[in-house]
Chains A and B, each alone.
Chain A
Amino acid sequence: MSPLAIDQILDGRRSQPDQLIEVLHDVQEKDGYIPEEAMQAVSQGLGVPIMEVYRVASFYKAFRLKPAGKNVLTICMGTACHVRGARLLLDQATGQLGIELGDVTPDGLFSIERVNCLGTCALGPIVTENETYHHHVTPGKLRKLIDTIGGQQPEETQHAQTQ
């Protein structure tokens, strides 16, 4: 994130420690996650110790400390989805992409998240892919979904390289 963008966010809120969470929300909205440099700048701007900024940012689930992938797969692990096999979906996703929960694939295409309930329990198990809801997902459907999203882009990049 550029220093200018952070200045813009901090504008009018400098030296107001109580604005910490608001500012972190704005940083996250702009960047998709909260980078270390942004936290340092926020710490300077608001007059909050860096430890405090990091503590708050790491405490709330709403803040991401690592960049998200281009496609964020969110697997619902609520009670209804859990009994219908959300665990299998998580295993399928982590196995197929070769990453752990909360991580991003090396090519930056996918990241896997879990959520405790999406409020559509009757349609479970639910997997959302960038705000798009997929209902009654099975490990097979999830595999096809990941293949179709991820399938085209690597080929395109390969093509570009050969040219």
Chain B
Amino acid sequence: MQQYVNVNIDGAIIRAIRGTSVLDTAIEYGICIPHLCHVPGLTDIGACRLCIVEHVVNGRSKVTTSCTLNVEEGMVILTSTDKIRKLRHNLAELLVAQAPNSRAIQDIAVRCGVTSVRYPFRNADCVLCGRCVRTCTEIWKARAIGFVGRGKDRHVDYPFGIQPEFCKQCNNCIQICPMTITPCNGPMKPGEEYLCGQCESQLIVADETPGSCVWCELGEGFACGRYA
């Protein structure tokens, strides 16, 4: 039997199912928390850090990822304070500098209010969100890909770099990857990266009611939790 708890997210008292994450609860209720590595149905690992929120405990607030935070009775969560917006802005800026060649990440940058990028563009193919690894492990139970290496050498690879015979070749890892949809103007060449920013018109409503989900089109590129 489902048990319910009452949580306070941005002042709204929400009756949430015990055991769900704060991110899921907020999206269900219509509060927008930008996220990238979260995929409905997969375990959350808090890799992209975009879904950070303030969790107020005894008058002190802790910044933590909402996807790995489970709802509890009497919890107080703030999703769109100045502090959070500033941190999230910086995270989105770092992500877009790492991988500008992704519509999903460009969209997230726009959503988080990034107007210029202070970091050098790296034009990498991966932001280590772990969506492919978790899909392969949890949905397909294949475990054909995984994280290899450590620190700056960490990357997604097959065991020993060779596609194993137990790979089901379902291509789900590619479908779910946020890098597969290029920006609207086509892929960027190394050295010519820019911040797309074309979808800023999407955010007119979002500016008026910060923190609320306005059913923007920005989530399509990375399968925002709302679309599930």
Q: Report A's interface with B, CB cutoff 8 A.
A: 36, 39, 49-55, 58-61
Contacts and interface: CB of A to CB of B under 8 A. Distances in A.
Contacts, number: 29
B51 to A, nearest CB: 25
Contacts of B159: 39, 50-51, 53-54
Contact of A51 (B143, B149, B150): B143
B140 to A, nearest CB: 12
B31 interface: no
B43 to A, nearest CB: 15
A40 to B, nearest CB: 9
Contacts of A60: 150
A36 B159 CA distance: 10
Contacts of A61: 150
B121 to A, nearest CB: 27
Contacts of B147: 55
26 contacts: A36-B160, A39-B159, A49-B143, A50-B143, A50-B159, A50-B164, A51-B143, A51-B144, A51-B145, A51-B146, A51-B158, A51-B159, A52-B143, A52-B146, A53-B159, A54-B146, A54-B148, A55-B146, A55-B147, A55-B148, A58-B148, A58-B149, A58-B150, A59-B150, A60-B150, A61-B150
B63 to A, nearest CB: 27
A59 B149 contact: yes
Interface of B: 143-150, 158-160, 164
A107 to B, nearest CB: 25
Contacts of B160: 36, 54
A28 to B, nearest CB: 17
Contacts of B143: 49-52
A26 B132 CA distance: 32
A54 B147 CA distance: 9
A59 B146 CA distance: 12
Contacts of B149: 58-59
A60 B153 CA distance: 12
A54 B149 CA distance: 9
Q: Which of B147, B149, B159 has the most CB of A within 10 A?
A: B159
A55 B145 CA distance: 10
Given A51-B144, A55-B148, A58-B149, 4 more contacts: A52-B143, A54-B146, A55-B147, A61-B150
A92 B147 CA distance: 34
B175 to A, nearest CB: 20
